[in-house]
Amino acid sequence: MTADRDPGCLFCRIVAGELPSTREHEDDAILAIRDIAPRAPTHILVLSKAHIPSAADLTEAHGPLLGRIFATAADLARREGIADRGYRVVTNVGAWGGQTVDHLHFHLMGGRALQWPPG
């Protein structure tokens, strides 16, 4: 499911393998990669393969995609050994939400106690 591609998009280029990344999971719809600038001991990005600009563009039809993203995040958390103590799965929307890459992705963060609210 790579049809919706934006050639100028950083994460589309990572999905296509044009730019390197450390891949932790891949299937037909999603890709999980290590964040290049980790803010926690575990910091993995779970991306849609399709170019969806942000969570603001999601509809009910994306339900299966979102289910898979969250199930994969939970699997990765178990694999990372952070599931028992807890972790965070979060997505930023727009400039004031802290979004810097306009391609849907969820941050899986854990391995330390996280602050709330994030700031």
| Residue 105 appears among annotated catalytic residues | yes
Q: What does 103 interact with, of ligand 5GP, Zn ion, none (CB < 5 to 8 A by kind)?
A: Zn ion
Would you count residue 21 as binding ligand 5GP (CB under 6 A)?
A: yes
Q: How far is the CB of 94 from Zn ion (least distance, A)?
A: 16
Report the alpha-carbon distance of residue 49 to residue 11 in Å, rounded.
8
Would you count residue 6 as binding Zn ion (CB under 5 A)?
A: yes
CA 41, 47, 52, 57 torsion-angle sign: negative
Report the alpha-carbon distance of residue 46 to residue 15 in Å, rounded.
11
Q: Give the SS3 label for residue 34.
A: strand
Q: How far is the CB of 105 from Zn ion (least distance, A)?
A: 9
Q: Stretches 27-35, 66-74, 79-87, 111-119: which one binds ligand 5GP (CB under 6 A)?
A: 27-35
Give me the torsion for CA of 85, 93, 70, 28, rounded to 10°.
Answer: -140
Q: What does 35 interact with, of Zn ion, ligand 5GP, none (CB < 5 to 8 A by kind)?
A: ligand 5GP
Which residues are known catalytic residues? Answer: 105
